[in-house]
Every structure is written in C-alpha cells, then in structure tokens.
C-alpha cells in the first residue's frame, strides 16, 4: 500500500482476450478494497483506466492484479498499478430503466452504446440489455436513438455524389446470392452502391463469403468510398470496417441465446445503412415457412418499422416481401452459388427464381434512385443484365477489389467429393426444409470450405421420378461428405409423396 491510502498491486499479465476491460483480484485484496466480482476499479498508471473486476481465491495471489489483454494495451509496461474502487458506468442504470420501463434520454442511450463499443460493459450487463429489449421492445423514438448511437460510435462514409443506394436482406432463405447480381445491375445504371455484407453466422454462406471467392472483401471505410466512386459499386465485408461496431458486440451476446429482438434488428440494419451514407435502401424480407419471418403480417410490421426508422434517419426505405420458403436458385454454399450467379451474368442461364428476384429488387432500386421511371425499373434491370452490362460492371468491381476480372463461372473450383440423393419413388417433393438444406450444406463444409455445398435438382412442389437425383452434395473432404449424406437421408429431410398435397405458390408481393 502506498501512503497507506491507495492499494498498489503487482501486475500479472493474462494474455487472453475477453472482449472487455477486465482484471482479476485475489479475494483478500477485493475484500480489503471493498469490491466484488462485477464491480469496477480504477487503475492508475500514467493515466486512468476503469476495469471490471473478477475475483479468485487462488490463481492470482494476494498483492497481485491479473490483467487481461484488453487492459495490457493501456498500461504500457507498468509493473505495479494503483487500484481504487470505481462506480459502475451510468449505462447500467440505463439498462435497468429499459428493463423496468423507466425514463432515459438520448444521451443515456449514446453512452450505453459507447460503453458497449469501448468494451466497458460485462457480458452480464450486455445480456440484460438484449434480454430487456427482447421482452420490452424499445419504442420507435428510443430505437432511433439506439440506431443513431450505433452510427455515431463508428466510422461513417460521406459521399459527395448522391443518391447512395443500398440493399439488405433479412436473411433466412438459403442460396440468396442476389447481391452478386443486383450490385452490378445498379452500378451499371450509373448509381453508387457501396454494399457491405456479412459472413454466414448460422447459414451456408453470406454475401461476403461468396464475394470472397471472386476478390478480397476486407477494406476500410476510405477504401470502400474511393472504390465505389471509381466503379460505382463494391461488395465488401462489413466486419472488416469500423462501421456500426456496436453491432458485432451485440451479436456476441444475442447469438448464444438465438435472440434477435426486433428493435435491435431494425437498429442493426439501419445503423449499417446510415453509416454507409445510404439515401435509398431496398430491404428484402423473405417470408414463409422456414424463414425468419414465417408470417406475412409479421413481415409487414417489420417493413413498417424499417420504413419509419429510415424516415427518422433521413433515408428512403422500400421493403419487398419475397417468397422465402424455398431456396433462391438451385445452389446453396460458396462456390456453387457463385457459379450460379456468374452464369446468369454471363448468359442469362439460370433459375427463374434467382433472375426474377434479382431484377425485381434491382428494378425497385433503379426507380428509387431516379435511374428509371416508376414502373420501368424491372425491365431496365432485366435489360442491363441481359445486355452483358452487369457482367462488365461485375468485372470492374472484382478488379477494383483486387480480384481477377477475367474469372468465369467455369474457373470456380467445386469440391470433388460428391454424392447424389435419389428419389425412392415417383411423386412430388412435399417437404424440403430450408433449415435442413442449410444443415446439409454446412455438414458438407460450407461456409468455411468454399467448394462445399448442395445443388438442388428438385425443389418443393416439383415432380420427381423414381431414381432421379433430388440433390447433389459437394464437399472437399470425404468425412464431411459422409456426414452430409447421413443428414440428408435421416429425419425426412426430403419427403417425396405420390400426390400433390397442396399447391405451392409464391407469395411474393413484388
């Protein structure tokens, strides 16, 4: 103890990243200091830093403070630190107000998000925030505060030219490679579209996973802006930027609970769009059995929420409810999806579900951005795709991101371990769940193994003859192929029946 007033402890480094500013005290020191696990202490070296306390009976001896990686960077090479108890951040009170319906201000919300970004909140505190916003969804105004705070605590793109176009898909439908078509169509029409995408979390491949097969996807905000200004569009990985960084931190606690509170979802989407400088945003809301939004009415409510939040933030938002109960196109998983998208760009060869959805959404964007008159967008998008202008633009995009612009669909490598699943009888495919298709593709190696995936010969509602192939599985590794085959065969992943039980018809509202 220095001057008998402040506790001074020897530093013991713990070279583990815990995603927050955290230290470990021996219980005897914690008692002496009057703090418990979960409390805060202030550490003094040259400056001050506040850390969350964990306590132990043994591992860290009395007189010593265990310092995790995130703190190490702040304390230079200090051998000792002066420790005093500190109060909890005000954000913890804000979280309790959100839980209990108490009052808080826009500044309180900013401080909360800022503490999340600065790694000042524990998993416990962040989970309470997420659980509370799941159980008592934030009102529209507070969701706006949340979104603005998410934008303002990260990097922002600021373009000189407008409008800036953007699109987003709520996800949940396999094989949704439409961004690989929409971005070049929109950019080819002369609009700017700096598309940032995510990697798959529970899916078989996010847009960033797919684009990575064609070109690098990790760029910072300045690079994204400059590339977009040069060729009109990019398809990059949002995770490499510092755009709305709170989002990834929140996903870290949402994911283990499979929670995605609707206000958090709205804020997450619109914060990323706002930070990218978007003026006009089209949002694809896949609905139907097996999607994240099984119920159309729920999809409409989400659309209203997104449009309202966009208006609050000065963005024009249009939402397209799309049929999501079946995969888009016939491929699910990295390379297979890229091949399917490239073939459409190269020669319009490809499934109607993919082409129609892509030109439908691209057409909406052309209309919103003023490149086409209302009602003419879809035709214009189709024409850009058919004429080869979209392919040409895609090559420019691939090139500016550092890929090979000469790449064609036949250059993409697909796993050489393959198997086919055949129909056991004549009939119709009556059940073929999205989730099971994704599971098969993931077991085959997607999204990590780019050559892994599933090619769907027969979709739900289609007729099939005995011994015809229903799907082909591609894998880079024999044991993964085996696991995927076993999954495809069990639990009625695919059900063929001898009669059509119901008419399966697209519910799209495009």
Q: Give the interface with a second copy as residue ranges (CB under 8 A).
A: 3-5, 14-17, 24, 31-32, 34, 36-39, 56, 58-59, 66, 69, 88, 92, 95-96, 99, 122-125, 127-128, 130-132, 134-136, 201, 252-253, 255-259, 442, 448, 477-479
Q: Annotated catalytic, 279?
A: no
Shortest distance, CB of residue 448 to a second copy, whole angstroms? 5
Nearer to a second copy by Cβ, of 130 and 365: the residue is 130
Nearer to a second copy by Cβ, of 131 and 326: the residue is 131
Nearer to a second copy by Cβ, of 204 and 269: the residue is 204
Nearer to a second copy by Cβ, of 69 and 312: the residue is 69
Q: Give the CA distances from residue 258 to residues 46, 78, 290, 412, in Å, rounded to whole numbers and listed in that order.
A: 42, 41, 15, 34
Beta bridge partners of 24: 54, 66
Shortest distance, CB of residue 213 to a second copy, whole angstroms? 15
For 462, residues 6+ apart whose C-beta sits below 8 A from its C-beta are 428, 429
Shortest distance, CB of residue 16 to a second copy, whole angstroms? 6
Shortest distance, CB of residue 90 to a second copy, whole angstroms? 13
* Residue 338 CB burial class (10 angstroms; 0-12, 13-18, ≥19): buried
Show the beta-strand stretches assigned E in 63-205.
64-68, 80-86, 165-169, 193-197
* Residue 29 CB burial class (10 angstroms; 0-12, 13-18, ≥19): buried
Interatomic CA distance for residues 36 and 55, integer angstroms: 7
Interatomic CA distance for residues 60 and 50, integer angstroms: 19
Shortest distance, CB of residue 479 to a second copy, whole angstroms? 4
Interatomic CA distance for residues 315 and 270, integer angstroms: 9
Nearer to a second copy by Cβ, of 39 and 115: the residue is 39
Q: DSSP letters along 46-60, please? A: SSEEEEEEEEESSSS
CA Rg, the chain, in Å?
A: 26
Shortest distance, CB of residue 445 to a second copy, whole angstroms? 9
Nearer to a second copy by Cβ, of 17 and 465: the residue is 17
Candidates 45, 152, 260, 376; catalytic one: 260
Provide the annotated active-site residues: 260
């Amino acid at each position: 103890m220095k001057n008998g007033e402040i506790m001074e402890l020897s530093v013991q480094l713990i070279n583990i990243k815990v995603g927050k500013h955290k230290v470990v005290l021996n219980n005897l020191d914690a008692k002496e200091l009057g703090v418990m696990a979960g409390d805060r202490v202030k550490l003094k070296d040259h400056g001050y830093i506040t850390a969350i306390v964990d306590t132990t009976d043994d591992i860290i001896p009395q007189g010593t403070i265990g310092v995790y990686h995130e703190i190490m960077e702040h304390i230079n090479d200090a051998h000792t630190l002066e420790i005093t108890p500190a109060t909890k951040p005000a954000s913890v009170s804000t979280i309790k107000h959100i839980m209990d319906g108490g009052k808080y201000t826009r500044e309180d919300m900013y401080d909360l998000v800022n503490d999340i970004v600065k790694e000042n909140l524990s998993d416990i505190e962040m989970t309470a925030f997420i659980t509370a916003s799941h159980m008592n969804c934030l009102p529209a105004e507070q969701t706006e505060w949340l979104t603005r705070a998410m934008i303002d605590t990260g990097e922002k793109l600021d373009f000189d030219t407008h409008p800036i176009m953007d699109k987003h898909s709520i996800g949940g439908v396999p094989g949704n490679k439409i961004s690989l078509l929409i971005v070049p169509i929109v950019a080819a029409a002369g609009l700017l579209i700096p598309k940032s995408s995510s990697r798959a979390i529970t899916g078989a491949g996010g847009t960033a996973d797919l684009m990575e097969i064609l070109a690098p996807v990790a760029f910072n905000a300045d690079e994204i802006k400059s590339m977009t200004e040069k060729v009109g569009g990019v398809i990059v990985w949002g995770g490499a930027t510092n755009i709305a960084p709170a989002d990834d931190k929140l996903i870290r606690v949402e994911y283990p609970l499979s929670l995605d509170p609707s206000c958090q979802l709205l804020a997450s989407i619109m914060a990323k769009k706002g930070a990218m400088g978007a003026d006009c945003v089209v949002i694809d809301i896949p609905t139907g059995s097996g999607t994240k939004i099984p119920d159309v009415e729920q999809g409409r409510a989400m659309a209203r929420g997104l449009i309202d939040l966009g208006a609050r933030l000065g963005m024009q938002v249009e939402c397209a409810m799309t049929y999501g109960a079946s995969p888009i196109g016939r491929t699910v998983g990295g390379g297979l999806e890229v091949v399917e998208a490239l073939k459409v760009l190269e020669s319009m060869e490809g499934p109607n579900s993919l082409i129609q959805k892509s030109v439908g959404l691209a057409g909406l964007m052309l209309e919103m951005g003023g490149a086409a008159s209302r009602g003419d967008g879809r035709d214009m998008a189709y024409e850009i795709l058919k004429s080869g202008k979209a392919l040409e633009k895609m090559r420019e995009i691939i090139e500016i991101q550092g890929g090979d612009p000469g790449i064609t669909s036949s250059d993409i490598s697909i796993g050489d371990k393959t198997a086919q699943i055949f129909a056991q009888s004549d009939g119709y495919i009556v059940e073929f769940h999205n989730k099971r298709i994704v599971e098969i593709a993931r077991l085959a190696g997607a999204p990590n193994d780019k050559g892994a995936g599933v090619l769907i010969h027969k979709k739900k509602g289609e007729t099939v003859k005995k011994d015809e192939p229903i799907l082909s599985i591609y894998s880079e590794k024999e044991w993964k192929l085996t696991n995927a085959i076993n999954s495809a065969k069990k639990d009625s992943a695919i059900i063929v029946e001898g009669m059509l039980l119901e008419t399966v018809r697209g519910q799209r509202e495009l």
